[in-house]
Structure 1
Amino acid sequence: MKTIAVVLFQDLLLLDVSGPVEVFSIANRYLEPDCQYQITTIGSDGLSVRASNSMTLAADMSIEQVSGSFDVLLVPGGPGAYNQHDPALDCWLSKMFSHVGRLVSICTGAFILGKAGLLDGRHVTTHWNYTERLAKQFPRAQVETDRIFIRDGNLYTSGGVTSGIDLALSIVEEDHGKAIALAVAKVLLVVMTRQGGQMQFSPLVADVAKDDTPVFRVRNYVLENLAEDLNVERMASLASMSARHFTRLFSRELNMTPMEFVQSARIDSARRLLETSDLPLKTVAYRSGFGSARRMRHLFVERLGLPPSQYRRQFS
């Protein structure tokens, strides 16, 4: 029998708990009794916690009552994961790490692992909206922005919310094979492997900035004039700089080259049109500055992992 322990804390995201737990629970329907998952909940601060949606959960035991080890120790995310700090939980997790087969974080649960010092030197991920914050708060972690989930040794981290289901399915597949995992996925009406990563859901560039500097004025001009022929020389002239100096300054302030920014902005523009209109792909490509539907398709597949036509089907 495989033992699964789920850490509960105040202001957690309930779906980060219920999604993975349902995967393991449904898997039990297809497994012999001695191969099933035994699920336990552990309270980090007493036995009763209130989730971010105001529902109350009761833990089976507190961290002080835990003895022995677990095959999987799962840490969910939620506002309590990144807005609160529980030194007792940090200490307990750091001690438990060597006593669990797999330590798993869902969504922003990675922040709890980081506070416990467990992300140092590891390749990890979290919800796309928090990857930059995670990287800044834990600079020794190797934060990847586009992965649905990552396994680094016995440490597993996942992206936002429902990616916990993807990660739990992968654990079931590791333990019991693809046929069982696929059966569970069919019950939950989800796919075994998503096409593409978190970039399908996250904007590649932020909204128009209000900073009154040459770089940000050019940045905002680009966002408002994507159909123009926007090369480095053109952008540099708008900033009254040499191309070399502009590129260096732009890259330093925005952490991407000018042409990377243009490409990302055009993809975001095309995504909005695909989501909100029935315009032909050629028109979407022209209005977003790609020049051709073929060029737009190439960049969509390269950056988002799926072509524009499939993106429209999924998100419109």
Structure 2
Amino acid sequence: MTRSVVILGFPGVQAMDIVGPHDVFTGAGLHLAAQPQLGGYDVSLVALDSGPVRTLTGLEFFASAAPEPGTAIDTVIIPGGFGTEAVRGDRAVIEWIRAVAPNTRRMVSVCSGAFLLAEAGLLDGCRATTHWASAEHMAREFPSVVVDPEPIFIRSSERVWTAAGVTAGIDLALSLVEEDHGTELAQTVARWLVLPLRRPGGQTQFAAPVWMPRAKREPIRDVQQLIEAEPGGAHSIPELARAAAMSPRHFTRTFTAEVGEPPSIYVERVRTDAARRQLTETDDTVTAIAARCGFGSAETLRRSFIRRVGVSPDQYRKTFA
């Protein structure tokens, strides 16, 4: 059985979001051609109006006409890019996504393509991911979606997958090929593309956010700046509450409401990001970095790093130093 893979094109799309999954599925199809009984993949780029699709960087692709709703499709891929914001206001595109979903085995988004799935109502009540830089925006826009900025990709529901930014679309496409035809074929395609089948660190986005959520109330913002200026400080709840001129209980409640997470979690996140930078920018030992960033011991840093980043500090340094 040949599986149809349909990639939606639109103005301002991210080129890699198209090319990455396209090359994975077509590459798998080429390897499957020697075993026609296993089927293959029929991959197409489509748009509601056939013709040239201009990407954000000026590269153009030619898209054929999108299948009519009711057509049986194996996999629909919704790429991202800066053009997604304009497409969200195009009701014809959103209605097409909503209409083809019931007859599609897998609905897949890459990067900010998750916004289009959410706009179509396909992520309501689901956990989803997107590019880390868009996660906060998506969480605000779609409170019914549980947005997780950490994973490379997530199976958001029985038939919906969401992937993080740009090259994460390749990771997800390889995983879908593996689901369809097994690890050996997925590994063969990955080798052909000179990629690991699974990244070091598993399913975690390595790109460290350069932002932290900012509170509206000045005392809470001041506490955030205090933590970020000195990640290795004690930063106990009583001390932070004193800095905000609040009782510990009121401070914890207010901080969580303003920032979106408790003070202790925020402190750990700031410390982990500080350690992450020092691991790549210095040759200091993990023990020294752990002490400087407020973890106390290398083992505490290691546990936090594995929980938040997905790899040990040593593995992270080897990959990104």
Question: Could you tell me the TM-score, scaled by structure 1's length?
Answer: 0.92
Aligned to 1:77: 80
| Distance in 2, Cα, partners of 1:205 & 1:155 | 29
Letter in 2 for 1:58: F
| Distance in 2, Cα, partners of 1:294 & 1:239 | 31
Residues 273 and 284 in structure 1, CA contact (< 8 A), matched pair in contact too? yes
Aligned to 1:21: 22
Residues 75-115 of structure 1 deviation map (CA, whole Å, 9 limit, x = unaligned): 11111112432211111121111121211111111111222
CA RMSD across the alignment = 2.1
Q: Structure 1 residues 166 and 87, CA, compared in 2 at 3 Å: closer, same or farther?
A: same
Q: Structure 1 residues 179 and 232, CA, compared in 2 at 3 Å: closer, same or farther?
A: same
Q: Structure 1 residues 227 and 240, CA, compared in 2 at 3 Å: closer, same or farther?
A: same
Residues 70 and 99 in structure 2, CA contact (< 8 A), matched pair in contact too? no
| Distance in 2, Cα, partners of 1:307 & 1:111 | 32
| Distance in 1, Cα, partners of 2:301 & 2:275 | 8
Equivalent of 2:145 in 125, 141, 166 = 141
Residues 205-250 of structure 1 deviation map (CA, whole Å, 9 limit, x = unaligned): 628x697722211221121122222211111122222211211111
Are 2:106 and 1:106 aligned?
A: no
Shift of 1:189: 2.2
Unmatched segments (≥5 aa) in structure 2: none
| Distance in 2, Cα, partners of 1:199 & 1:177 | 24
| Distance in 2, Cα, partners of 1:78 & 1:276 | 30
Equivalent of 1:277 in 263, 273, 282 = 282
Letter in 2 for 1:287: R
Aligned to 1:129: 133
Residues 153 and 203 in structure 2, CA contact (< 8 A), matched pair in contact too? no
Q: Structure 1 residues 232 and 311, CA, compared in 2 at 3 Å: closer, same or farther?
A: same
Are 2:66 and 1:63 aligned?
A: yes
What is the SS of the residue equivalent to 2:150? Answer: coil
Counterpart mapping for 1:142-161 below 5 A: 142-151=146-155, 152-161=157-166
What is the SS of the residue equivalent to 2:8? Answer: strand
Letter in 1 for 2:152: I
Aligned to 2:44: 40
Residues 119 and 138 in structure 1, CA contact (< 8 A), matched pair in contact too? no
Q: Structure 1 residues 305 and 204, CA, compared in 2 at 3 Å: closer, same or farther?
A: farther
Q: Structure 1 residues 295 and 122, CA, compared in 2 at 3 Å: closer, same or farther?
A: closer
Letter in 1 for 2:41: Y
Equivalent of 1:174 in 153, 174, 179 = 179
Aligned to 1:3: 4
Equivalent of 2:212 in 206, 209, 222 = 206
| Distance in 2, Cα, partners of 1:315 & 1:45 | 43
Letter in 1 for 2:19: S
Aligned to 1:232: 237
| Distance in 1, Cα, partners of 2:254 & 2:15 | 43
Equivalent of 1:267 in 272, 277, 287 = 272
Equivalent of 1:54 in 58, 62, 66 = 58
Q: Which moved more, 1:248-257 or 1:49-58?
A: 248-257
Letter in 1 for 2:115: F
Shift of 1:264: 1.0
Residues 5 and 72 in structure 1, CA contact (< 8 A), matched pair in contact too? yes
What is the SS of the residue equivalent to 2:318? Answer: helix
Letter in 2 for 1:221: L
Residues 204 and 265 in structure 1, CA contact (< 8 A), matched pair in contact too? no
Q: Structure 1 residues 240 and 142, CA, compared in 2 at 3 Å: closer, same or farther?
A: closer
Alignment identity in percent? 35
Q: Structure 1 residues 77 and 221, CA, compared in 2 at 3 Å: closer, same or farther?
A: same
Letter in 2 for 1:2: R
Aligned to 2:225: 220
Question: Could you tell me the TM-score, scaled by structure 2's length?
Answer: 0.91
Q: Structure 1 residues 268 and 313, CA, compared in 2 at 3 Å: closer, same or farther?
A: same
Residues 205 and 261 in structure 1, CA contact (< 8 A), matched pair in contact too? no
Residues 7 and 44 in structure 2, CA contact (< 8 A), matched pair in contact too? yes
Letter in 2 for 1:17: I
Residues 285 and 293 in structure 1, CA contact (< 8 A), matched pair in contact too? yes
